[in-house]
Amino acid sequence: MASFPHQYKVATSGGPDGELPVDSNGLPTLATTAPPEFGGPAGYWSPETLLTGAVASCLILTFRALARARKLEWTNLEVDCSGEVDKTREGLKFTKFRLDAVLTVAGGADENQAREVLENAKKHCLVTASLTSETEMTAEVRKG
């Protein structure tokens, strides 16, 4: 692992209309626009969908690291995430993220341990820990 602090850089530019290309060195360019809820066209990633995707993928990546450390045998983690934007006293902001997780563990795995690792992943996810929004999670553990 690289020493801290870590830095992540992206660049974008745009005019009065059209998509905004988001670039980061060595990564594919993402075309983004405002979401349809804010008058943008359908079919594009938006800052709102990117952040919601970051919450979902961070949960899985954090779970991977914690499960590896605990030697938990698992085969799949499905995460559906919804982010809620609402009006607040400070203006529009994400007020809640809802995670619905379905974890499939190996037949001999301890389901209680699996649920504990999943809860710890929610707690230690870098993205949600950096946000002021509430994060709720429902979790189902299945044997596979």
Contact 85, 92 (CB under 8 A): yes
Q: Residue 141 pLDDT > 90, yes or no?
A: yes
**Is residue 40 in a domain?**
yes
Contact 40, 48 (CB under 8 A): no
Q: Which residue segment(s) compose the domain that 36 sits in? A: 10-45
Tell whether 61 and 127 lie within a shared domain.
yes
pLDDT, one tens digit per residue, over 48-80 is 999 999 999 999 999 999 999 999 999 999 999
Helix axes 111-124, 47-70, angle to 10 degrees: 130
Tell whether 57 and 39 lie within a shared domain.
no
Q: What is the rounded average pLDDT of the residues 107-134?
A: 96
Q: Which of 81, 82, 85, 29 is nearest to 60 (CA)?
A: 81
Please give the model's pTM, rounded to 2 decimal places. 0.94
Q: Name the pLDDT band for 1 (thresholds 50, 70, 90).
A: confident
Q: What pLDDT score was predicted for residue 112?
A: 95
* Tokens describing residue 137: 């999670």
Question: How confident is the prediction for the chain on average, in pLDDT?
Answer: 97
Cβ-proximal residues to 52 (8 Å cutoff; 6+ apart), any chain: 81, 82, 83, 97
Tell whether 21 and 70 lie within a shared domain.
no
Tell whether 94 and 29 lie within a shared domain.
no
Per the structure, how many domains does the chain have? 2
**Is residue 72 in a domain?**
yes
Q: Name the pLDDT band for 144 (thresholds 50, 70, 90).
A: confident
Tell whether 34 and 55 lie within a shared domain.
no
Q: Which of 102, 108, 110 is nearest to 141 (CA)?
A: 102
Tell whether 35 and 100 lie within a shared domain.
no
Tell whether 26 and 41 lie within a shared domain.
yes
Q: What CATH number is given to the structural domain containing 127? A: 3.30.300.20
23 DSSP assignment: B
Tell whether 121 and 97 lie within a shared domain.
yes
**Is residue 4 in a domain?**
no
**Is residue 1 in a domain?**
no
Tell whether 137 and 85 lie within a shared domain.
yes
